[in-house]
Structure 1
Amino acid sequence: MEQFPFNLGDKASFSAAANLAVEARPDGVLVAPIFYDEALPFFDQCKAQDIPYVMFNTHIPEVPAISFIGQNLYQSGRVGAELMMMGQHQPGKFAVLHLDEDIHNAVHLREKERGFREYCQEKSNGSFTVTTQDHTHPGHPGFEGEIAQLVRDPELRGVFISTSKGSFIVAGLIEKLGKKDFRVVGYDLLDESLQYLRHGTIDFLINQNPKRQAFVGIGHLVNHLLFKKSSPPVTLFPLEVITPQNVDSYLSSGFH
C-alpha cells in the first residue's frame, strides 16, 4: 500500500498528490476528497483509467465511488449546536470557526456549519446569534489578535471549531488568554486536544474516528478487488461525544 499525503490547507498539494496517485496506476484508491473542485477531475481520471475508489471523511454523492465511509456532517453540526445550547440561560453569541481549510471549497465544513446554524435557529427563539470566522492560514500575524477579540466579547457563549487541527490551535490560545464563561466544542481525539479537554478548556469533542474510517475503507477496497463482494454505498459512523468525564474510559475501551 502506497500513501500520497497532502497539506489539508493547500488545494494545490491535494491536486499534486492526486496526480501522483493516478500515475502510480493503483488497483484502487482510498481518498478523503476535502477539496471539492480539485477532487472532481481526480475522480474523472480514476473513471477514465478504471481505478475504483472509496471516499472517507467527505461525501461527494454525485461521483460513482464504491462506497463512502464517514458521518452525517449536517447532523454533526446539529449535535455541536445541541451541546453548545445545553444549560445556556443567557442570550448571546456563538462563533463557528473554520481553520486550516478553505471553507468555500470544503463541502464537509459547510455542512457542519449549516447543521449548527439551523439547529440554533430552530431551538433558540432568536436568543442566540451565530457568527463565522474563516482562518485558512491560522499562522498569519493577525490571527491571535482576532481570537483574542472574539473570546473577550462579553456576549460570547460558545465557540464551535469545525476541524480537528483547529480545535487544539484555538484551545491553546483560549487557555493562554484565560477562558471565561463560554463553551468550546471541537473535533477528534488528537493528543493536543485531549490535553485541553482534560484541562477543561475544551468542553466537548465530537469524535469522527478518522483512523477507523480509513480502516473500514480499506476493507471495502479489499472486498471489491479480491473477493468481488459489493460494499454498502454509505457507511455512517456514530456521532460520539467525548467529555472530560468519559474520555479515559473511552480511550481504554479499544472501540476508537
Structure 2
Amino acid sequence: MRQRFAFFVFILLFSVCFFLMMYYGEKTFFVKKTAKSEAKKQAYHFVLIPEETDNEYWRIIEKGAREAAEKYNVYLEYLGPKRANMGEHVRILDKEIAGKVDGIMTQGISEDHFTPLINKAMDRGISVVTVDADAPYSRREVYVGTDNYAAGFLAGQALLEDTEGKQVVGIVTGRFDASHQRLRVQGFRDAVEKEKRIEIAGIKESGISKTGAVQATYDLLKEHPDITAFYGTSALDGLGIARVISTMRPNSDPYIITFDTLPENMDLLRDGKIDAIVVQHPYEMGYRAVEMLVELKKGNHPERLQYTESKIIRQKDLDQFLKDNKGLYGDEDDPS
C-alpha cells in the first residue's frame, strides 16, 4: 500500500514539474520571440548599456533615450550590470556585439577594457556612441556627455568661491579605474593647485555605492581629522559624505560639493547639508545619443564631441533648477 502511495505521489510531482517546465519554457521562448519581432517592426535596434541599471542617474539617461527612441521608431534595449561591475559590463557589451544590433550606446570607462570591444563593434558595422564617459582613443563615432575635466574644474572653482581661509580637502571618487572619474579629480586639482590655502589631504574610492561612500568618508576622517571640505565625484558620494558628517561630527560644518542632482542630493542641498552640486544633464545625454545613432545609420557624420552642459547649483538656485527641469524629478509632465 505504501509503495503504491509513494508511486502515486512521484507521478503527481513529476507531472507538476513537467507542466511548470513546459509553461515557463514556452513563456520564455515567447518573450524572446516577441522581442525579436518587435525589433523587426522598427527602423533600428539599439542597446543602451549603463554602468549600472539600478541607478537613478542612469534611469534619467534611459528616460531620454526611450523618448528619442519612440520619436525615431527605434527598438531600444536597456541592459547592464545591476551594480557597477567592469567584468559584467564588458561581458554584456561583447554579447550585444555578437547579437549584431544596429547601434550601441555605452560608457568608455576604461581604455584597456572598452577600446578593443568598441573597435570590434565598428569592424562588424555596428555604430557606437559613448555616453557619460568617453573612449577617445577608440574608433567610437560620437561622444555625448559632460566634459568631465571641465566639470571637475568648475567644482574646484566653486570651492574657492564659497570658502575662506585654510581648507583641507578630502576627495571621495567613484572608481579609480574609471576615466571620467579621474578627469573630474584632475580638473578639481588643477583649479585649486595655485591656491596655497587649499590642501588636498587624500582620496578614497566609493565603488559607486552609498555604503562605499560612507566607508571612504570614514577612512578619510580617521586618517585626516583636520578635513574641512569634501568633494564627491560620483552621484552617490555626497550622500555618504553627508551621512558620516551627521553621525560622526554633527556639530561640524564642512564644505561639501558633489556630483549630480539625484532627489536625495537635492534634499540635502535644500537642508544645507550639502553646499553645492555639479549639475549634469543625463536626460539630454540619452536623448541625443539615440539621435546621433540615427544620424549615423542614415550615413550622416555628426560632430564627434557632443558635450552637454555642466554647471554649479547652490541652495538658492534649487527652486529655479527644479522649475527648469520639470518632469525629471518626480513630476510626470514632459520635460522636453
TM above 0.5: yes
Structure 1, unmatched stretches of 5+, are: none
Partner residue of 1:61?
Answer: 136
User: What are the superposed Cα offsets for residues 70-96 of structure 1, whole Å, 9 maximum, x if unpaired?
Assistant: 122111111111111224332131111
**Aligned residue-pair number:** 249
Alignment of 1:122-161 (within 5 A): 122=194, 124=195, 126-130=196-200, 131-136=202-207, 144=214, 147-148=217-218, 150-151=220-221, 155-161=226-232
Q: Is the alpha carbon distance of 1:113 and 1:139 closer, same or farther for their aligned partners in structure 2, counting shifts above 3 Å?
A: closer
Partner residue of 1:116?
Answer: 188
> How far is 1:50 from its partner?
1.5
Q: Report the more deviating stretch, 111-120 or 152-161.
A: 152-161
> How far is 1:242 from its partner?
1.9
Structure 2 residue 165 is matched with structure 1 residue 79: no
> How far is 1:117 from its partner?
1.0
Contact 1:7 1:13 in 2 (8 A): no
Percent sequence identity over aligned pairs = 16
Coordinate RMSD, CA, aligned: 2.4
Q: 2:228 aligns to what SS in structure 1?
A: strand
> How far is 1:171 from its partner?
2.3
Q: 1:156 aligns to what SS in structure 2?
A: coil
User: What are the superposed Cα offsets for residues 17-49 of structure 1, whole Å, 9 maximum, x if unpaired?
Assistant: 212221221111111222332212211320221
Partner residue of 2:77?
Answer: 2
Amino acid at match of 2:181: L
Q: 1:155 aligns to what SS in structure 2?
A: coil
User: What are the superposed Cα offsets for residues 177-204 of structure 1, whole Å, 9 maximum, x if unpaired?
Assistant: 3262321111111111111111111111
> How far is 1:173 from its partner?
2.7
Q: Distance in 1 between matches of 2:205 and 2:135?
A: 22
Correspondent of 2:276 among 204, 229, 242: 204
Contact 1:4 1:21 in 2 (8 A): no
Partner residue of 1:216?
Answer: 288
Partner residue of 1:96?
Answer: 171
Structure 2, unmatched stretches of 5+, are: 1-75, 329-336
Partner residue of 1:247?
Answer: 318
> How far is 1:145 from its partner?
6.0
Partner residue of 1:190?
Answer: 262
Q: Distance in 2 between matches of 1:146 and 1:162?
A: 12
Partner residue of 2:117?
Answer: 42
Partner residue of 2:62?
Answer: none
Give 1 or 2: higher helix fraction: 2
Q: 1:230 aligns to what SS in structure 2?
A: coil
Contact 2:209 2:236 in 1 (8 A): no
Q: TM-score, normalised by structure 1?
A: 0.87
Contact 2:213 2:239 in 1 (8 A): no
